[in-house]
Structure 1
Amino acid sequence: MNLSIHSRLVYDYFQATDVLVQVEAAHLPDQTIDQPELWLTPVTHFVRVPGHDELGERIWLRVEGRMELDYRAKVMVDRPAVDIAYLPATDPRWLPGEVIDYLMPSRFCPSDRFFEFVSGEFGGLRGGACVAALTEWVSERMTYVPGASHSGTCATDTFIARQGVCRDYAHLLIALVRAASIPARYASVYAPDVDPPDFHAVAEVFLDGAWHLVDATGMAGAADIARIGVGRDAADTSFLSSFGQAALVEQFVTVERVS
């Protein structure tokens, strides 16, 4: 799958502010980045640092006044679609060290609050079959409602409200999957067919020795997704974090399939 990506951010900063940006698609074995272009208004500091888990890159900026950022790229995604329902379970004691953190509760994914629910409703399922059932449960019971949540909404809030946006779908699914003793993490991505167009969020689950993308909203398939970054939850993968007061002026994202 070939994707054409364009994202634009415009913010006003009223004093000199440190800003951490992660908007560029990551260079990975299953996705090749072609013709990347990053345009930015002049800043007093620009340093690239690794993203969470060394996946992708973040950029430290020192900004004052108006910041305009424009990113464009062509991405060739070479990732076969996998039916996760048939992937085997891995007992926690056999998991590699680098994925253990993704079994644990995190700020927006308090998985320890879901043990009883998952055990009672899905206790007879393991591995990919359990993930598939949990994904179906979230997809069927959630309603996609822009504006129904806010930056502090966690998976527990979403479980009660049964509505939200892609971020909320991902957080809830991650919390449920971790409660089933399966590592899960949050992925910030670009994907076509996202409505309304924006930065998209999906879950990644660790099954059969590898990470697999899962979108509980149903808007994106694994073969159509370009990953930006990953983390325990949205706190690790924000496309822009301002360490000072900022005002949004403009933001848009377009992702199109190209031949």
Structure 2
Amino acid sequence: MKLSIQSTLDYRFEQPTDLLLQVEAAIIPEQVVTDAFIELSPTEHFARVVGHDQIGDRIWLRVAERLTVHYRAVVTTQRLLADISALRQVPMHLLPGETVEYLMPSRFCQSDQCQHFVDGEFAGLEGGARIDAIRAWVEDKFSYVPGSTTAETTALDTFVKREGVCRDYAHAVVTLARACGVPARYVSAYALGVEPQDFHAVAEVFLDGAWHLVDATGMAQAAGIAKIGVGRDAADVSFLTAYGQSQYLNQQVWVSGE
């Protein structure tokens, strides 16, 4: 699938501030990025650094008062699509080393506190069948409510409130998958079908020797998702991390497909 992507950011800063920006679609084998262009307002410093797991780029910036970002690209996805429910779980002792960190609890995904829940709620299911049941459970039990959570909301907070946005749905799936012994990571992305249009977040699980996208919001399909970056949770892949006071002025995202 071919996706046309545009995004804009506009922020103001009280004093010179260091920023870490990650808004560009990742150049990786499962997606071909063409016609990419990024324009930034004047900065005091600009340097690219590789993203988590070598997926995508982060950009170090130092800005004085204002940052505007305009990004556009065409992304053709070519990832392998699979029926999650039919995939097998890789035994822990056979997991590749790079997947191990995604079994561990993290700041927003306290998987160590969910073991009894997954063993009871999803008893009798294994591997991809259990992950698909987790996806369906989150989609059914949670309500998508913009503004209902904050940047500090954890998966356990969302589990109690049963409402949130894509970030919270992804954290919930990641947390429950890890509690089942399945490596799971958080993916920031552009995605077709997201309403209202915005940066999107989904989970990605390691089954049958490969990573597979899971969107419990039900809004996006794997073929219509362009990855920006991956990490343990949202803290690793924020589109903008400011190391100082910032004021949000405007943010827009457009994604169309063919």
Scaled by the length of structure 1, the TM-score of the pair is 0.98
Q: Distance in 2 between matches of 1:192 and 1:86?
A: 25
Q: Are 2:158 and 1:158 aligned? A: yes
Q: Distance in 1 between matches of 2:91 and 2:104?
A: 15
Report the CA distance between 1:30 and its aligned residue.
Answer: 1.1
Instruction: After superposing the two structures, state which structure 1 stretch, 100-109 or 119-128, moved more.
Output: 119-128
Where 2:252 maps in the other structure, the secondary structure is: strand
Residue 171 (structure 1) aligns with = 171
Q: Distance in 2 between matches of 1:80 and 1:99?
A: 19
Q: Distance in 2 between matches of 1:182 and 1:115?
A: 12
Q: Distance in 1 between matches of 2:103 and 2:119?
A: 15
Report the CA distance between 1:81 and its aligned residue.
Answer: 2.4
Q: Deviations over 1:98-137 (max 9, x none)?
A: 0000001000000011000001111321110110011110
Q: Distance in 1 between matches of 2:59 and 2:161?
A: 35
Q: Deviations over 1:149-170 (max 9, x none)?
A: 1111001000110000000000
Q: How does 1:31-110 map to 2 (within 5 A)?
A: 31-110=31-110
Residue 149 (structure 2) aligns with = 149
Q: Distance in 2 between matches of 1:54 and 1:184?
A: 16
Where 1:48 maps in the other structure, the secondary structure is: strand
Q: Are 2:9 and 1:9 aligned? A: yes
Residue 242 (structure 2) aligns with = 242
Amino acid of the structure 1 residue aligned with 2:221: G
Amino acid of the structure 2 residue aligned with 1:116: H
Report the CA distance between 1:26 and its aligned residue.
Answer: 0.3
Report the CA distance between 1:14 and its aligned residue.
Answer: 1.2
- Consecutive unaligned residues in structure 2, runs of 5 or more: none
Where 1:197 maps in the other structure, the secondary structure is: coil
Residue 204 (structure 1) aligns with = 204
Report the CA distance between 1:205 and its aligned residue.
Answer: 0.1
Any runs of at least 4 consecutive aligned residues in structure 1 with deviations exceeding 3 A, and if so which? none
Amino acid of the structure 2 residue aligned with 1:48: R
Scaled by the length of structure 2, the TM-score of the pair is 0.99
Residue 120 (structure 2) aligns with = 120
Q: Deviations over 1:53-98 (max 9, x none)?
A: 1110000000011111100001111123210100011111110110
Where 1:76 maps in the other structure, the secondary structure is: strand
Length, aligned pairs only: 258
Residue 24 (structure 2) aligns with = 24
Q: Distance in 2 between matches of 1:196 and 1:11?
A: 21
- Consecutive unaligned residues in structure 1, runs of 5 or more: none
Instruction: After superposing the two structures, state which structure 1 stretch, 77-86 or 113-122, moved more.
Output: 77-86
Q: Distance in 1 between matches of 2:161 and 2:249?
A: 30
Residue 253 (structure 1) aligns with = 253
Q: How does 1:201-240 map to 2 (within 5 A)?
A: 201-240=201-240
Q: How does 1:181-196 map to 2 (within 5 A)?
A: 181-196=181-196
Q: Distance in 1 between matches of 2:95 and 2:162?
A: 32
Aligned-residue RMSD, C-alpha: 0.7
- Identity among equivalent positions (%) equals 56
Where 1:106 maps in the other structure, the secondary structure is: coil
Where 1:34 maps in the other structure, the secondary structure is: strand
Q: Distance in 1 between matches of 2:219 and 2:92?
A: 31
Where 2:106 maps in the other structure, the secondary structure is: coil
Where 1:173 maps in the other structure, the secondary structure is: helix
